[in-house]
Amino acid sequence: MTYTLIYNGTLIDGTGGMPIPNAVILIKDNQIIDIGTEDSIYLPEKEVKRIDANDMFILPGFIDTHVHIMANGFKLEDTMYNPLSFYFYRATENLRDTINAGVTTIRDAGLADIGVKKAVEEDLIVGPRMLISVMPLSISGGHFDRYLNSGFDMRETYPGLPESICDGKQEVRKRVREILRAGADFIKVMVTGGVMSVNDGPDETQFTIEELKVMVEEGKFRNDTKVMAHGHGAEGIKNALKVGVYSIEHGTYIDDEAIQMMVDQETYLVPTCVVIKYNKKYAEAGELPEYSRKQAIEIVDIHEKNIRKAYEAGVRIVMGTDCGVVPHGLNLEELRFLCDIGMSPEEAIMAGTKHAAECLGMDDKIGTIEKGKFADIIISKKDPIAYIKSLGNPDNIVMVIKEGKIIKNLTN
């Protein structure tokens, strides 16, 4: 049994309540067992490891609901040059960059297999807790079909990573079953084209309502596995909403009707502002492939305007970044972008903690600093309520604790 006491910091517990100065948090093994002030907490007689928070700010570990931990950029030609094993070694770095940025849980939106998740769970490698979607579903010629019109086949599959492409109800059902067999916690589907696509544009509609219905139904049969839908164009998004998908990722061209449906159905929106903003930067610097440059620049203002509308209408928005398409470790930059669309710093923090935990169905275990939850805790050098932007710089995250274990420590 190990006891750890964090003291002398201001607690922002993720519930949206007022910050608590001079807070003390008592951890037993991997769990938070008490919170209060030093004289109000009963300290065990056993030895207690003490962590001085040095007047800094204590927050829950953040949750990024949209990451691609196996990806570093989205260059198709990489699959020609990189041996398969290289991706896994590189992913260990990506996982470390992510947790060092203050993210203790991720939902991988495609390409991470169950072996990566298992390696983290068994402490072979350091990283955030993972939920995975294994391989996104795409139609032929859709956002995740990397079979080029030159005839080159850049698609990636290997044992444990099933094929992405499926057309028609029969194939869709089989693919969903294969992905669930491969260990998916979520079913990811591309219901529109994408910015970084070879074969399509972001506003194209992909999959029919009938096909989408099969995914949702099959997920329900199987342990109520939820469907997360990559969607930019309004029609594709609405098709997904009509069959009751659980979350919409990106949401660029979302219209009033779709927003209303999301409010009514309590669908989550993961706006991934980080990838939208950074892609524009890279496009302007000529760093994106030619086929995606124009649209990467075009969508930025439209995206911001529409996400703000969704926020104002009361859509449930949670933090997700698409890191992997852009560099890992930028994750908490999302918080300031959420403030740009109208959230207060407190709300943005909740979008990345409490509400993100709800989106993952894990709010009984993570997302806030409360008794009985996993001790996923970070310490920030700067006051995130006064300077929300400061959280986006990993240097300001001086400590990261995951399930009671210190992963990063810059305090001494």
Residues at the interface with Zn ion (CB under 5 A): 109, 322
Query: Residue 204: which H helix or E strand, with range?
Result: none
Q: How far apart are CA 112 and CA 122, in angstroms?
A: 16
Query: From its phi and psi, is residue 54 left (phi > 0), alpha (psi between -120 and 50) or beta?
Result: left
Residues 6+ apart with CB under 8 A from 302: 252, 253
Closest C-alpha to 406, from 99, 80, 63, 14: 99
Q: Which is nearer to Zn ion, 193 or 384 (CB)?
A: 193
The least CB distance from residue 39 to Zn ion, in Å, is 48
The least CB distance from residue 91 to Zn ion, in Å, is 15
Provide the 3-class DSSP secondary structure of residue 358: helix
Q: Which is nearer to Zn ion, 109 or 134 (CB)?
A: 109
Q: Which is nearer to Zn ion, 105 or 380 (CB)?
A: 105
Q: Which is nearer to Zn ion, 322 or 346 (CB)?
A: 322
Residue with token string 């970070």? 378
The least CB distance from residue 144 to Zn ion, in Å, is 10
Q: Which is nearer to Zn ion, 133 or 353 (CB)?
A: 133
Q: Which is nearer to Zn ion, 143 or 355 (CB)?
A: 143
The least CB distance from residue 296 to Zn ion, in Å, is 14
What is the distance between the terminal CA atoms of the chain, rounded to a whole angstrom? 25
| One-letter identity of residue 392 | G
The least CB distance from residue 230 to Zn ion, in Å, is 6
Burial 132-142 (b: 16+ CB within 10 A, else e): bbbbbbbbebb
Q: How far apart are CA 197 and CA 339, in angstroms?
A: 29
SS (H, E, C) 116-169: HHHHHHCCCCCCCEEEECCCCEECCCCCCCCECCCCCECCCCECCECCCECCHH
Q: Which is nearer to Zn ion, 185 or 322 (CB)?
A: 322
Q: How far apart are CA 24 and CA 13, in angstroms?
A: 12
The least CB distance from residue 320 to Zn ion, in Å, is 8
The least CB distance from residue 232 to Zn ion, in Å, is 11
